[in-house]
Each structure stands twice: as C-alpha cells, then as structure tokens.
Amino acid sequence: SQTIHQWPATLVQPVGSPLSLECTVEGTSNPNLYWYRQAAGRGLQLLFYSVGIGQISSEVPQNLSASRPQDRQFILSSKKLLLSDSGFYLCAWKGDGHNEQFFGPGTRLTVL
C-alpha cells in the first residue's frame, strides 16, 4: 500500500533563516506530487506541483522553491523565511489510474 511521509512535523524558525521541508512517497512510482500551504482561515493554496523528476511547476510566485531530486521525493525550500511563510504545509500525491490526491500529515511552520 502507498504511504506519504512529511518531516519535520513542526518547525519554529527565525525570520531570515533557510527552510527545507521533505516529502516522500512509498509504494508507488512516478506519482504527481504537490505542495500546498494552509494559512489560518483554512483555505488550501497550491504552491508547486511536479509530474516527474526535475519537473516543477509554480502556481504562485513567492519566497519558496521546490525540487524533485528523486521520483518519490519532493522538497520545499526557502533561502530566507518571511513572517508570512508561517502556516501548515501539506504534501500530496496522485498516481495513475485515479484522480484524487492523497495527503501527508503536514508540517506546521512558525516563523518568528
């Protein structure tokens, strides 16, 4: 069966510090991968998605970047965090044969 992992689960970082959030999927190959941010107020904002290794599409230009160095690994990064980067970051995957996304447990980021 497929599983999706995210780490860390929680993170507190100072403004201006770098960021690296990791997402990995097990039990599937060549998934579509997605990064979402959920700020207070619940709305889900799609940040990046990837249909394959090295292929990244950005939905919203901002202080963040994403990379997919391996088929089942998706990384969200920032060189210098802003206060507005605080939020709940969710990674999701979609495989062949179905259209729904499956989400990881999320990372709660607080920038102070």
Question: What residue ranges bind another protein (CB under 8 A)?
Answer: 32, 34, 41-44, 46, 49, 51, 57, 59, 88, 90, 92, 94, 98-106, 108
**What minimum distance in Å lies between the beta carbon of 87 and another protein?**
11
Q: Among 71, 68, 72, 74, which Cα is nearest to 55's? A: 68
Q: Between residues 13 and 103, which has the closer beta carbon with respect to another protein?
A: 103
Cα separation of the two ends of the chain: 38
Provide, rounded to whole angstroms, the least separation between the CB of residue 53 and another protein. 15
Nearer residue to another protein within complex by CB, 83 or 96: 96
**Which residue's structure tokens are 């950005």?**
58
Nearer to another protein, 81 or 92 (CB): 92
Question: How many degrees, rounded to 5, is the angle at CA 97 between CA 94 and CA 99?
Answer: 50
Rounded to whole angstroms, the Cα distance separating 53 from 57 reads 12
